[in-house]
Amino acid sequence: MLHSDTTLKFYFYVVFQVIGVYFNLYYLIPKLLYVGKYFSYVLSVLATILISNAFITSGYFLTASLSGKSLFELFGVYPNQFATIYFVWALPSTVACMTLGMSIKLGKNWLEAEKRKLNLEKQNLETELKYLKSQINPHFLFNTINSIFALIHKNPDLASESLANFSDMLRFQLYECNDEKIDLEKELQFIENFIELEKLRLDSDSTEMQFDILNRSRERKKIAPFILIPFIENAFKHISKGKGKRHFIHMSLQVDDKILKLYIENSKGFNEILDDSGASNGIGLKNVARRLDLLYPESHSLVIENQKDRFSIKLELEWQKS
């Protein structure tokens, strides 16, 4: 009943437990726990519980006094059984309420902190991508211009075609990849142009190159921009070292309705130390792996093998539903 003889005791439970919980959540936790004063916080929480519990216990005696009945008539205990009321009846309920309120608050704060951390990682990733799109690798730029310049008198047609490819790459890099996902066709065209321009500065007699792009259903597929090119640029970087020896690059890129598979294997100098910061515009293989973890969580696999005389990567990327 809402207005029985024991209603006042119930109100004491509700009011003082709520006061204790809110005092803990909005004063003790921000002022003590979050600033590292752990010992003071524990003592303060214990004091809050004991004080709240004392007020709740007093509600039993006040209820009996106002109702004109004895404690035994209302609750089945005698006045000298204060410890039973305080420790057996009221204290477990008060501790449970404080614990539940604190658990909800800390759990909510943890989830918010994880969300902020994820958003910050995504913002950093977007910043890296914007830098990647706005900066042109100076070595690639310098080498490409020199290669095209050398072709102007030797092979004007090839020089003209290479210059058009170079222009398409710059246009894509600066203007056509501003979305989170772009058409796979555009990414593949960028890769093909990059490969053709890199071929210009290689010695075809000492370098074996095989590039197979099998994309049967590229039309409707979307992909994060610049997620593949760092692996390809890394392969060319390796074979640019140790001139005078034979090199090779074997690449296979296969696309179907469910998955994209990229496999690249290339030679490297016998004493060469892997520099995984040498991918596209400084993004590095480690950062590309991190981008994959954030953009394609649990929908990709990346295996990198760095051997004495060769380097290989195998990437499998499952298409995500739009």
Type and span of the H or E element at 153? helix 138-154
Instruction: Check residue 268 and give its pLDDT.
Output: 82
Residue by residue, DSSP assigns 193-240 as: HHHHHHHTTS-TTTEEEEEEEEETT-TT-EE-TTSSHHHHHHHHHHHT
CATH architecture of 135-318: 2-Layer Sandwich (3.30)
The SS3 of residue 183 is strand
> Domain boundaries in the chain?
7-119, 135-318
pLDDT at 36 over 70: yes
Q: What is the three-state SS of 36-104?
A: CCHHHHHHHHHHHHHHHHHHHHHHHHHHHHHHCCCHHHHHCCCCCCHHHHHHHHHHHHHHHHHHHHHHH
Instruction: Check residue 316 and give its pLDDT.
Output: 95
How far is residue 231's CA from residue 215's CA, in Å, rounded to a whole number? 18
Q: What is the three-state SS of 254-296?
A: EECCCEEEEEEEEECCCCCCCCCCCCHHHCHHHHHHHHHHHHC
| Contact yes or no for 279/139 (Cβ under 8 A) | no
pLDDT at 133 over 60: no
pLDDT in tens, 96-119: 999 999 999 999 989 998 888 888
User: Taking the model in full, what pTM does it have?
Assistant: 0.57
Average pLDDT over residues 35-39: 92
Higher pLDDT, 260 or 320: 260
How far is residue 250's CA from residue 208's CA, in Å, rounded to a whole number? 8
How far is residue 61's CA from residue 56's CA, in Å, rounded to a whole number? 10
Residue 307 is classified by DSSP as -
CA distances from 183 to 175, 186, 192, 220, 223 (A): 14, 6, 15, 7, 6
pLDDT at 28 over 90: yes
